[in-house]
């Protein structure tokens, strides 16, 4: 908490119900700014007095955003020092009143009275203001001159109802008068599901599944081998065999495949599940929840699950899809260490469709056609060296990317042109979106995916998937802190890639660290650390110039969120993929070349933040 002088007058941690209390110094000077952080989310509030109640929530962040000239809630800390009246009680009251008016149809549907979001007393018990917050998904995205604000209403039929406006708009648009607001389960119901998952995973492995020979060695098995009643009760009808999602039933095979395979893994024991949030409802009443999991070493991950409310108790259900396919917002900064003037941002969507192979090691798909919410059809293709389907480039070759960039822009604004002019290996929209078009994208976009099989006798399969948020525009991305290479790692990469790529002189692994295992990257405060490193390159077979004409490939290593270095092992995707050494298949073959490294993290809204390091040179 910061007062009008810019002095920190309180620093504390909330309890499990989100409550906090502070004793302010006697010389505290109003107005006050309150800042709360949770993972990579930051919320702001402001009060005009030096004491009393100060709530902090997504809605208070909207109010604060509209108090600042540039729409950035973080600007309020400096603003109150030079213009304290900007956060006066009257200024705050005006914005609270406007927000209450815009949300009046929602408040009426919930039976909740209008209130002061900043100073009104409420409890996290699913009533009053808390009930309203449970019904909304709010995003505030500063772009340097204003903030783009979305308030999405959770509807019972899965339709979208979103208030789009900016911090600079005079008026806030009103919620639809006929909106059918969903009956979002209260926080105790949602927290109960997380508590039951935590209790299940707290049990030793030999108690969770009957096939475990010890508590320290991973097991394999099927849904029928889940033996703990606590774990069975997580699923519909207390039966794990009812769960089918993305082509998998509950279980784990020798390749670690299967739904909820973690039930059979020793390393998952002790994982804590919490911070669940109902994101939206499907037409049949099932709800998609985001959640956080934390292992015994403190590493954090975010994911989603589908649940059904059965007499006030949430049960996990599958999506019924035959194949796994996800579409996630994709935000990238690409640092070109050998040509830094061309380092650039990219924003769009990553379409992840695993390159599934048959018993002979051949891909089962020829392609997949993905239809975006705005009607554009995008085609991705299977290729031997890649773990997922990829886009084709304009010359007809398979690219190394599954990311479709709607916008691009150079980090150095003095660099002329657009990255799409020079980045022939990336895939951009033929006509890039404007910042306004990006801001208008719906967070809950619906995507349709049609799978085409190699076996012509098999009918095409059509599925849908939905995003939880949209990607930021380039203007919005410029306001964000990001992961970066350490100076030592940058120097090492530049020194090893004078030709614009790194070549293995002998079979070896990828050790992404400085000498002695030092940190390869740094993570600033408030930024989610990467949990995955992918490497991209070309195999030497059929090459004429140091491997540069070989087949493309990618390999990926998952890592703990605390890691700042990682080793990537070679992994052949198909029988015709030859980039691994024939003697030690975990190593890369001699003359394999590497040209790009990709550090990635995924947040609560399943948005991918990507930091790419390119060794190749642009001219």
Q: Return left, alpha or beta for 385; rule: phi > 0 is left, psi -120 to 50 is alpha, else beta.
A: alpha
State how far the Cα of 563 lies from the Cα of 19, in Å rounded to an integer.
32
The answer to whether 407 touches 474, Cβ cutoff 8 Å, is yes
The answer to whether 33 touches 76, Cβ cutoff 8 Å, is yes
Say which residues have a Cβ less than 8 Å from residue 491's Cβ, sequence separation at least 6: none
- The share of the chain scoring above pLDDT 70, in percent, equals 99
Cα–Cα distances in angstroms (integers) from residue 72 to residues 65, 199, 295, in the given order: 6, 41, 34
Mean pLDDT of the chain, nearest integer: 94
Give 198-250 pLDDT, tens digit per residue: 999 999 999 999 999 999 999 999 999 999 999 999 999 999 999 999 999 99
The answer to whether 474 touches 408, Cβ cutoff 8 Å, is yes
Predicted local distance difference test score (pLDDT) of residue 113 = 93
Q: What is the pTM of this model?
A: 0.91
Predicted local distance difference test score (pLDDT) of residue 41 = 86
Of 173, 122, 131, 172, nearest in space to 154 by CA: 131
State how far the Cα of 129 lies from the Cα of 107, in Å rounded to an integer.
9
539: cis peptide before it, omega within 30°? no
Say which residues have a Cβ less than 8 Å from residue 159's Cβ, sequence separation at least 6: 180
> Which DSSP category does 545 fall into?
S
Predicted local distance difference test score (pLDDT) of residue 238 = 98
Look at residue 390 and tell me whether its pLDDT is greater than 80.
yes
The answer to whether 390 touches 402, Cβ cutoff 8 Å, is yes
Name the token pair of 509.
Answer: 């692994």
The answer to whether 310 touches 368, Cβ cutoff 8 Å, is no
Q: Is 50 helix (H, G, I), strand (E, B) or coil?
A: coil
Predicted local distance difference test score (pLDDT) of residue 512 = 97
Indicate the angle between helix axes 58-67 and 128-135, nearest 10 degrees.
80
Q: Is 232 helix (H, G, I), strand (E, B) or coil?
A: helix
Place of tokens 């890592």: 559
Region 601-611: what's the mean pLDDT? 95
Look at residue 546 and tell me whether its pLDDT is greater than 70.
no
The number of beta carbons lying within 10 Å of the beta carbon of residue 223 is: 20
Q: How would residue 541 be classed by pLDDT, with cut points 50, 70 and 90?
A: low
Q: How would residue 576 be classed by pLDDT, with cut points 50, 70 and 90?
A: confident
> Which DSSP category does 419 fall into?
G
Look at residue 548 and tell me whether its pLDDT is greater than 70.
no
Q: Is the dihedral of CA 384, 385, 386, 387 positive or negative?
A: positive
């Amino acid at each position: 908490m910061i007062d009008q002088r810019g002095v920190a007058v309180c620093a504390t941690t909330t309890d499990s119900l989100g409550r906090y209390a502070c004793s302010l110094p006697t010389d505290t000077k109003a107005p006050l700014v309150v800042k709360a952080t949770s993972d990579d989310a930051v919320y702001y509030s402001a009060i005009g007095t030096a004491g009393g109640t100060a709530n902090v929530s997504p809605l208070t962040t909207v109010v604060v955003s509209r108090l600042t000239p540039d729409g950035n809630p973080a600007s309020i800390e400096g603003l109150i020092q030079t213009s304290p009246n900007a956060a006066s009680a009257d200024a705050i009251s005006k914005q609270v009143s406007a927000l209450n008016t815009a949300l009046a149809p929602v408040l009426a549907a919930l039976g909740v009275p209008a209130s002061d979001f900043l100073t009104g007393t409420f409890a996290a018990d699913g009533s009053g203001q808390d009930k309203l917050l449970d019904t909304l998904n709010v995003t505030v995205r500063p772009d340097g001159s204003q903030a783009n604000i979305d308030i999405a209403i959770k509807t019972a039929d899965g339709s979208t109802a979103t208030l789009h406006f900016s911090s600079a708009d005079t008026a806030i648009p009103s919620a639809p008068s006929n909106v059918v607001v969903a009956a979002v389960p209260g926080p105790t119901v949602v927290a109960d599901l997380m508590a039951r998952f935590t209790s299940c995973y707290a049990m030793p492995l030999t108690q969770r599944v009957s096939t475990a020979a010890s508590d320290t060695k991973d097991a394999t098995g099927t849904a029928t081998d889940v033996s703990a009643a606590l774990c069975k009760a997580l699923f519909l009808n207390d039966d794990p065999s009812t769960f089918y999602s993305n082509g998998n039933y509950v279980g784990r095979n020798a390749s670690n495949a299967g739904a909820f395979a973690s039930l059979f893994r020793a390393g998952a024991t002790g994982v804590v599940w919490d911070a669940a949030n109902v994101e939206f409802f499907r037409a049949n009443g099932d709800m998609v929840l985001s959640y956080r999991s934390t292992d015994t070493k403190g590493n954090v991950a975010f994911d989603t699950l589908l649940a059904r409310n059965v007499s006030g108790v949430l049960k996990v259900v599958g999506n019924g899809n035959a194949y796994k396919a996800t579409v996630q917002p994709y935000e990238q900064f690409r640092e070109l260490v050998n040509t830094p003037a061309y380092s650039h941002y990219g924003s769009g969507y990553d379409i992840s469709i695993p390159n599934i192979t048959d018993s002979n090691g051949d891909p089962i798909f020829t392609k997949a056609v993905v239809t975006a919410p705005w009607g554009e059809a995008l085609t991705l293709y299977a290729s031997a060296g890649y773990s997922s389907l990829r886009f084709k480039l304009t010359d007809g070759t398979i690219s190394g990317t599954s990311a479709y960039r709607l916008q691009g822009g150079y980090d150095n604004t003095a660099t002329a042109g657009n990255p799409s002019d020079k980045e022939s290996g990336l895939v951009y929209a033929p006509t890039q979106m404007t910042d306004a078009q990006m801001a208008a994208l719906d967070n809950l976009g619906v995507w349709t995916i049609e799978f085409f099989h190699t076996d012509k006798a098999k009918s095409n399969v059509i599925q849908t998937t939905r995003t939880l948020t949209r990607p930021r525009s380039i203007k919005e991305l410029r306001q964000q802190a990001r992961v970066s290479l350490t100076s030592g790692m940058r120097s090492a990469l530049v020194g090893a890639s004078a030709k614009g790529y790194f070549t293995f002189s002998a079979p070896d692994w990828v050790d992404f660290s400085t000498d002695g295992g030092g940190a390869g990257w740094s993570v600033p405060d408030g930024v989610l650390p990467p949990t995955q490193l992918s490497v991209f390159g070309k195999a030497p077979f059929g090459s004429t110039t140091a491997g540069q004409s070989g087949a493309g490939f990618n390999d990926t290593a998952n890592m703990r969120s605390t890691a700042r270095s990682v080793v990537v092992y070679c992994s052949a995707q198909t029988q015709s993929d030859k980039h691994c050494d024939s003697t030690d298949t975990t190593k890369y073959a001699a003359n394999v070349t590497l040209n790009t490294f990709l550090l990635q993290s995924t947040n609560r809204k399943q948005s991918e933040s990507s930091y790419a390091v390119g060794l190749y040179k642009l001219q």
